[in-house]
Amino acid sequence: MAADDTRPVEGGTLGSVAAVPGGPDTSRPVRRWVENRPARSWWPRIDLAELWSARDVAVVLALRNIKSRYKQTFFGAGWAILQPLAGVAIFSVVLGRLAKVPSEGIPYPVFVFAGLVLWGYFTASAMAATDSLAGYRQLITKVYFPRLLAPLAAVIPPLLDVGVQLVVVAIFMGIWGVAPTYAIVLLPFWVLATIVFSFGVGAWLAALNVKYRDVRNAITFLLQVWFFATPVAYGSSLLPSALIAVNPMAGLVDGFRWSLIGAPPPGAAAVVSLIVGLLVVLGGLAYFARAEHYFADVI
């Protein structure tokens, strides 16, 4: 290699080579190459610049997910309203009237609908993220792109359902005379925090599902158990503080209700649950980055 050859030994961009008689052709365009290898440190590095440069891939995958979500469906986006309405009707009769479950001073239909909005987004995102890598097997084995974009694209389409459902919640609030408080300004924070948490859980599940395909079946059961451990159909006052503290969705649901319909503000246990949720997100990203190198081999 010539003394002024600027090409790196490993990783990066192929640079220019000095023109010498009989030397390499310098008229060829500069090309980039990527080496996919296991992380060497206990905390794998996530290249944010690479993710941002490939953001168009996430947009394409998200649009594909939206189209496949409503393809050949009779009600289409109407399912975003029908499903939570059915849940509200069932819970209002069984828990609201028969069991007399407390709803923190909020009319029960409004109370449970607000909880179902956030929980529905989380479950839809988790399920979609679980299949996000396995569903792109041909793409992953043939084309390189930042794999983290797959679960990221999976948590975007369910936001359309959230937008539609918030309109229905506003109608419910008008019917039952529930007015929002000053806390409404924090509503975007709770939505964003739920997106981040769903993305972190989705990263865990997507990476696990590549190697163990029964994760798809296990997550269905896990979400059912998780639902009853989260104050969606009842108030958090019925749960022990310790259970709220270890359940990130409990803090998110309480905060979301507080901002949207004026329910009691989250307590200390809910704040601890948010910290636990952040640890789950960091752990999910770390595991995904360490497992990424074998995706194409085992998928």
pTM: 0.81
Say if 172 falls within a structural domain. Answer: yes
Say if 281 falls within a structural domain. Answer: yes
Q: What is the pLDDT along the chain (299 residues), one digit of tens a residue?
A: 444 433 333 444 444 444 455 555 555 555 565 555 545 555 667 777 777 887 887 888 888 877 776 665 555 566 678 888 888 888 888 887 777 788 888 999 999 999 999 999 999 999 988 888 877 777 777 777 788 888 998 999 889 889 989 999 999 999 999 998 899 999 999 999 999 999 999 999 998 888 887 788 888 889 999 999 999 999 888 888 888 999 999 999 999 999 999 999 998 998 899 999 999 999 999 888 888 877 777 76
- Quickly count: other Cβ atoms within 10 Å of residue 292's Cβ: 21
Say if 57 falls within a structural domain. Answer: no
Say if 83 falls within a structural domain. Answer: yes
- Crossing angle of the two packed helices 187-211 and 215-228, in degrees rounded to 10: 150
Q: Is 155 exposed, middle or buried (0-12, 13-18, 19+ CB in 10 A)?
A: buried
Q: Which residue has the tokens 């828990």?
A: 95
Say if 249 falls within a structural domain. Answer: yes
The structural domain count of the chain equals: 1
Which residue range(s) make up the domain with 113?
76-298
Say if 286 falls within a structural domain. Answer: yes
Say if 134 falls within a structural domain. Answer: yes
Say if 39 falls within a structural domain. Answer: no
- Cβ distance 109 to 103 under 8 Å? no
- Cβ distance 219 to 124 under 8 Å? no
- Cβ distance 16 to 30 under 8 Å? yes
